[in-house]
Amino acid sequence: MNLLILGRGKTGSLVADVAHQRRHHVKVLGRADNQTASALVPANLQGIDAVIDFTAPEAAVPNIEAALRCGKNIVVGTTGWYQELPRMSSLAESSGAALMVASNFSVGMNLFFDVVRAASLALEHEYKGQIFERHHAQKKDAPSGTALSLQRLIEERAGEQLEITSFREGDVVGLHEVVFNSGSDRIYLCHDAKSRRGYAEGAVRAAEWLAGKKGFFDFKDVWREL
């Protein structure tokens, strides 16, 4: 496949490395190359099979809009823009291309989502819950998209919205904890990302999976098929 990676940050660079290792042809654009999605025009996207976005919250929506207008599939790992998600999913459904979004493309984290969903039943047995998340000091959005996904799935399963506490420090890749506490005991659930490679591998595999598909997809719904 011919892949266009948007973002030269730590994750975007690793996505490019993983894509090369999986024998794809890769082009990478940084912020200066693609101000307000200016590079995402038909002439520049000719021959591109999919776009992968790991940029910044303010850049994600213009990039999605531009890619879909050009009929190109796009995988988005950037978070912090989800207030626009309903509009972007509708645009994908009508565009003839495909959009896949995830707060976290790690297979391990998606397994963790399932564990937390099951454990959230503790809230029906006199437990109280909290969510804690830690990321590197440069991360722009707080709470993280992953923490918000955890909050949402717990609310859907148990009917209670848990408080999220966020920390931004050092070069923490991503650590998420869900704690259920009762008068008798405490349940700790934790996912600690040791590197960004899991995110990168999931994003590239998502781009491969989207080939020939149209519409809106969420990685949590399809990762088992990859």
User: Each residue of 15-66: pLDDT tens digit?
Assistant: 999 999 999 999 999 999 999 999 999 999 999 999 999 999 999 999 999 9
CB 61 within 8 A of CB 84: yes
Q: CATH 3.30.360.10 spans which residues of the chain?
A: 107-192
Q: Which CATH class is domain 2-105+197-225?
A: alpha beta
Question: Catalytic residue numbers?
Answer: 135, 139
Three-point CA angle 51, 57, 61, nearest 5°? 55
Task: Enter the pTM of the model.
Answer: 0.87
Report the pLDDT value the prediction gives residue 221, as an integer from 0 to 100: 83
Q: What percent of the chain has pLDDT over 90?
A: 93
- Side by side, the strands of the sheet bearing 98-101 are 25-29, 2-6, 50-53, 73-76, 98-101, 215-218
Which residues make up the CATH 3.40.50.720 domain(s) of the chain?
Answer: 2-105+197-225
Q: Facing residues of 10 across strands?
A: none
Name the class of domain 107-192: alpha beta
pLDDT (tens digit per residue) in 133-182: 999 998 988 999 999 999 999 999 999 999 999 999 999 999 999 999 99
